[in-house]
Structure 1
Amino acid sequence: MDHAIIEKYAAPVPRYTSYPTAPHFTSEVDNATYTSWVKDLGEGDRLSLYVHIPFCDRLCWFCGCNTKQTLKYAPVKAYMKRVHKEIEMISKLVKPAAIVTAVHLGGGSPTLLEPSDLELLGAKMRGAFQFADDAEISIEIDPSDVTPEKIEGMVAFGMTRASIGVQDFSKKVQEAINRPQSFEITRDVVFALRDAGIKSINLDVLYGLPFQTTERLLETVDKTLSLRPDRIALFGYAHVPWMKTHQKMIKDDTLPGTIERFEHAIMAGDRLADAGYDRIGFDHFALPSDSMAKAAADGTLRRNFQGYTVDNSDALIGFGGSAIGQTKNGYVQNIVATGQYQAAIDNGDLAIAKGFELSDVDRARGWVIEKLMCDFKFDIDQFVQCFGDLAPTILNDAGYIAAADQDDFVYITHDTFGLSDKGKPFVRAIAAKFDTYFGQGNARHSKAV
C-alpha cells in the first residue's frame, strides 16, 4: 500500500471501546446519577461484572492500564475489603431478578490475589447477585504470578476463560519494556490451565514495541501459535507517555515507525489467518470453533471496555478504582486513585468520579461506530428501523464520507455502508468520521495503525 496513504490514515484516533469515548466523560454524572441508573435496570436484565485489581508486583513500562506497583500484600488485602463493600452497596440497588451472565477480573494483575482472597471475592459476588449457570468468568493472568495453588483458586472461583499477556518473547524487547517472561513459563501455565479443565484461553501479542523487528515479531507469533490458544489478540502498542508517565522509560527512537508498524500488523495478522484463525474486527483472531468467531459470523459480536466480546449483557457494572461501567443510560467511571476510592467507600458513598449520559443521537452514532468496528459495515434498513427520524442526518454523513473517499476504502449501496478490504485496517479512522465529539477538547490518542 502507498506509504502516503498509510501515513494519512495513521493519525491518532480513539479505539472506540465506547461512544462517546472516555475523555468526554464529565463530573456532571455523579453518585446520585449512577444510583438512579442502576435502580432503573429491569427485573430480567443481564449483568456483566468487572472487578479492577490495580496492583502489580512489577511495573511494565508499556502498560496503559490504571495500575500501581506493590511489593507488599497488605495494601491489596485492604483494597479488596472496599471492593467487597462496593459490591454489597451496588447489589442493594439492583433488582433481585437481574442475572449475571459474565464476570471479568482485570488489572493490574488479578493473579496477584491469594487464593483465599479470590475465594472470598467469589463468595461476596455470588452472595450479592444471581448468577447464570453458564456465566462466562474470565481472568487476566500474568504467568509470572501463577502457582498451582493459584490455578486451583481460579478454578474454584469458576473461571471459564483465561487471558494471558504475552507481548513479545524476544529477550531484547522484554528488557526494553521491563517484562521478563520466557516462552517456557507461558507454555507451562497454558498447559497447567488446560490440565485443570480451562477450555478457553486467550493470548495477547503486541506489535509496535521497542526494538521489535519483523523477525522477532513473527517468531513470537509462531511460538504463540504453537500453543494453539482459542483466541489471540494482536494489539498495537499505544505509546502515550503524556498520559502514562512510566512509558517515558521507552525511548521514541527505539519504536518502529508508522510504515514498519503497519507492515508488522499486516504480516502478523496474515500469519495468524494462514494458521486457521478467523479475523475478528481489526485486532482479534479466533479459532472457528470459538464463540467469538461464531459471534463475528452471525453479526452478534460486541465491543466494550474490554475490547471485542461476545458479552450481550444489558449493563456492565464496574467495581474498584478506575473501573468503568455502562448502563442503557450512559457510562460511569470510578475514582482512579486507590486511596481516594477507598475513602469514598469507607464513607458509605459510591465512588463515581465522572461519566456521560447518552442522548438518542449518541446511541444512534454509537450503534453505527460499533457496527463498523465489529462488522466493518452496517445495514441501512436496520439502522433506520432502530433509530427512525435520527437516521437521515447520519446517513447523509455516510454519503458524504463515501463521496469524499479517494482511496477506495469505503462503499455505500442502497442497503449497506461498509469498508473495503483496503479500508479495514483503518476502521478506527473511518469510524472517527461519524464521531461528532472527536477533536473537541484536549484529548490525545494513540496511532490508528
Structure 2
Amino acid sequence: MRHENKSRLNEAVPRYTSYPTAPHFHAGITADTVREWILRIEREEPISLYLHVPFCDRLCWFCACHTKQTRQYEPVASYVRSLCREIETVSGLIGNRAPVRAIHFGGGSPTMLKPEDIMALGATVRGSFRLVDEPEISVEIDPNDMTDERLDAFAAIGMTRASLGVQDFDPKVQKAINRDQSFELTERVVDGLRAGGIASINLDLLYGLPHQTCATLEQTVRMALSLAPDRIALFGYAHVPWFKKHQTMIADEWLPLPEERYAQSMLAARLIAEAGYEAIGIDHFARPEDSLAAAAREGRLRRNFQGYTDERCDTLIGLGASSISRFRQGYAQNQPATSVYQRTVDEGGLATVRGIELSAEDHARAWIIERLMCDFAFDGEEAAVRFGPVARPLIAEAALLSTTGRHPWLVRRGDVFVVPEEHRPLVRTVAARFDSYLKQGEARHSAAV
C-alpha cells in the first residue's frame, strides 16, 4: 500500500449506506411529512420493506445496532403487536397501488421471536400489502436462537434468503465480544436451512476484532468457506464506544492497529476470492451465478442500510422502532425508544422523529457516492444527463481530483472517473470528497478500513 494511503487507514469516514448520512437527520421531518411522502408513492412503483426487531437475549459487545437485551418475552410479544399495528397504518396509506418486491427482517435478533409471532408478522404483511408473486424475504439469523420450529415458521412465511451472523470462530475473540457460537452449531443451522428449502445463505464475518490476528482470521474464513455459502459479507469492526456504551467492554489495547486491520481485510478478501467468489464493492462476495454478482457485473448494484443489494426499489419503508425509510423525497427515521414508538403506533400514528429532505444537489451527490461505492467509478456524462446543471460543479470536483498529486484518487477515462486499484480499499475516503455534509456538525465515524 502506498505511503499516502497508509496514513489514511484510520481516517474516520461514513460507510455511505445512505447520503446524507444519519447523523445529519433532523427533527424537521415529521409524521406529517412522511404521510405526504407515502401518499405520493406512484402507482405500480415497487417498494421494499424493512421490519426491525430491536431485541436480543444477549448483548454482543461489538454490536452497533439499535437493540437491547431482554430475558423476558412479554416485551417482545407486546412489541410485535405494535409492529403489526404500524404495518396496518402504513399499508392503509399506500393501498394497493405499490407492489412489495422485497422484505427484510433485521435486528436485533428476529430469530428471537416465537414461531407464533413470526407467523403473525408474516400474515399481517401479506394481508396488508400487495406482494409480487415471489418477493425476496431475507432474515438476519443468530444461530444461537434458531430452532426447528422457528425455521419452519420463517419458511412458512416465505423466507428465501438467510443471513447468519458468524463474526469469528476463535474462542478467545468470541469471549472478548460476548458471542459464544461454535462452528458445529453454525453448521447445523446452515444444514437445517438448506433442508428447509432456503435457496440462498449469506455469512457475516468481521475483521478488526479484539485479539484477532491474521492467523485466527484465516482459520475463521476457511471454516466459513467450508459451509459453501452463496454470499459472504466481510465487515470491518466499527469501534464507536462514544455511540454504543457497551463497546467500552472492549479495551482499546485489544484491537489490532490500523495496518493490522488492513492486512486482515486483504487476507480475508484474497482467501474468499481464491475460493471462487466475486468481489462486490468494498465488503461483499458472491458466487458468480448469484444475482448480486450479476448485478455488479451489469452495473445494477445498489447500496442501502443493509449493505449491497440488487433490489431495484427506490422506496424502502422501515417499520419498527429506530428503522429508517428511504423515499424519493428523502429519509425518515422512526422513534428509537420502544415504549414511545409503541404508544405512537398503537394510537394509529406514524412514529417518525427525524429525517432529511433531499435537494437536487443531494440527489446528484448521492448518485455519485453510490456509484463510487458500488462500481469504483461514475460516468460524468450520465451524471450531467440525470441531474442537469447541478452536476457541473461535481464533475469539476472530480476533474480536479483526477489531476491532483502524483497518484490521484480518480483517473479520468473519457467521461468516466475511475478509482485506481491501489485506492479502492479506501473508496469511502474517495466518496467523502463528494460529501458536502461531512464537515458540518460533530458527527463521528468509524475507521476507513
Which TM-score band applies after superposition, normalised by the shorter structure? Answer: over 0.9
Is the CA contact 2:401–2:408 (under 8 Å) kept in the aligned structure 1? no
Corresponding residue number in structure 2 for 1:71? 71
Distance across 1 between alignment mates of 2:349 and 2:19: 27
**Cα distance per residue 1:69-91 (max 9 Å; x no partner):** 01111000000111011011101
Q: Match of 1:176?
A: 176
Which SS does the other structure have where 1:92 is aligned? helix
Residue 4 of structure 1 and its aligned partner are, at CA, apart by 5.1
Contact 2:27 2:353 in 1 (8 A): yes
Matching residue of 1:240: 240
Pairing 1:162-201 to 2, within 5 Å after superposition? 162-201=162-201
**Number of aligned pairs?**
449
- 1:232-269 residue CA offsets vs partner (Å, 9 max, x unmatched): 00000000000000000000000000000011101110
Q: Are residues 393 and 4 of structure 1, via their aligned partners in 2, closer, same or farther at CA, if it must alter by over 3 Å?
A: closer
Q: Which residue of 2 aligns with 1:273?
A: 273
Task: Provide the C-alpha distance between the structure 2 equivalents of 1:291 and 1:111, rounded to a whole number of angstroms.
Answer: 25
Distance 2:402 2:306 in 1: 30
Q: What residue identity is the alignment partner of 2:298?
A: D
TM-score normalised by the chain length of structure 1:
0.99
Contact 2:9–2:262 (8 Å) recurs in 1: no
Distance 1:399 1:408 in 2: 10
Q: Report the AA paired with residue 93 of structure 2.
A: L
Answer whether contact 1:233 1:284 (CA < 8 A) is retained: yes
**Structure 2 residue matching 1:404: 3-state secondary structure:** coil
Q: SS of the residue aligned with 1:79?
A: helix
Shift of 1:107: 0.2
Instruction: Assess if the C-alpha contact under 8 Å between 1:164 and 1:204 holds in 2.
Output: yes
Residue 400 (structure 2) pairs with residue 381 (structure 1): no
Asked if structure 2 preserves the Cα contact closer than 8 Å seen for 1:43 and 1:95, the reply is no
TM-score (normalizing by structure 2): 0.99
Cα offset for 1:389? 1.1
**Hey, what does 1:11 align to over in structure 2?**
11
Give, in angstroms, the shift of residue 126 of structure 1: 0.7
Structure 1 residues 437 and 445: alpha-carbon distance in aligned structure 2, compared to 1, 3 A threshold: same
Q: Matched residue of 2:205: which SS?
A: strand
Asked if 2 retains the 8 angstrom alpha-carbon contact of 1:408 and 1:422, the reply is no
Partner of 1:224: 224
1:77-120 per-position Cα deviation (integer Å, ceiling 9, x unaligned): 00011101101110111141210000000000000011111111
In structure 2, how many angstroms separate the alpha carbons of the residues matched to 1:331 and 1:95?
A: 21
Q: Deviations over 1:334-390 (max 9, x none)?
A: 011111111211333210010000011100010000000000001122111111111
Who is 2:117 aligned against? 117
For 1:358, the aligned partner's letter is L
- Structure 1 residue runs of 5 or longer lacking an equivalent are none
Q: Indicate conservation of the 8 Å contact 1:288/1:294, yes or no.
A: yes
Any conservation in 1 of the 2:139–2:162 contact (CA below 8 Å)?
yes
CA distance in structure 2 between the partners assigned to 1:225 and 1:20 by the alignment: 35
Could you tell me which residue of structure 1 aligns to residue 31 of structure 2?
A: 31
Q: CA separation in 1, counterparts of 2:3 and 2:382? A: 36
- Structure 1 residue aligned with 2:343: 343
SS of 1:422's equivalent? Answer: helix
For residues 391 and 9 of structure 2, the distance between their equivalents in structure 1, rounded to whole angstroms, comes to 26
Q: Which amino acid is 1:127 matched to?
A: G
1:330–1:358 contact (8 Å) kept in structure 2: yes
Letter paired with 2:267: M
Amino acid at match of 1:274: E
Instruction: Indicate how the Cα distance of structure 1 residues 90 and 426 shifts in structure 2: closer, same or farther if over 3 A, else same.
Output: same
Aligned pairs for 1:41-440 (under 5 A) are 41-440=41-440
Q: Quote the sequence identity (%).
A: 52
Whole-angstrom CA distance in 2 between matches of 1:249 and 1:3: 33
Alpha carbons 1:37, 1:329 under 8 Å: kept: yes
Q: Which amino acid is the alignment partner of residue 59 of structure 1? A: L
Distance 2:36 2:406 in 1: 47
The superposition leaves residues 263-296 of structure 1 with CA deviations (integer Å, 9 ceiling, x where unpaired) of: 1101110110111000000000000010000000
- Equivalent position SS for 2:51: strand
User: What stretches of structure 2 of length at least 5 have no aligned partner?
Assistant: none
> After the TM superposition, which of the residue ranges 439-448 and 399-408 deviates more from structure 2?
399-408
Q: 1:414: how far off?
A: 2.3
Tell me the SS of whatever aligns to 1:105: strand
Change (3 A) 1:3 1:184: farther
1: CA distance between counterparts of 2:9 and 2:435?
16
* 1:284 partner letter: H
Tell me how far apart the structure 2 counterparts of residues 382 and 59 of structure 1 sit (CA, whole Å). 45
Q: State the 1:409 CA deviation.
A: 3.6
Cα RMSD, aligned residues only: 1.0
Report how far residue 9 of structure 1 moved.
4.7
Task: State the SS of the aligned residue for 1:72.
Answer: coil
SS in 2 for 1:203: strand
Q: Conserved in 1, the CA contact under 8 Å of 2:14 and 2:445? A: yes
CA contact (8 A) 1:409 1:422 kept: no
Q: Alpha-carbon deviation of 1:408?
A: 4.3
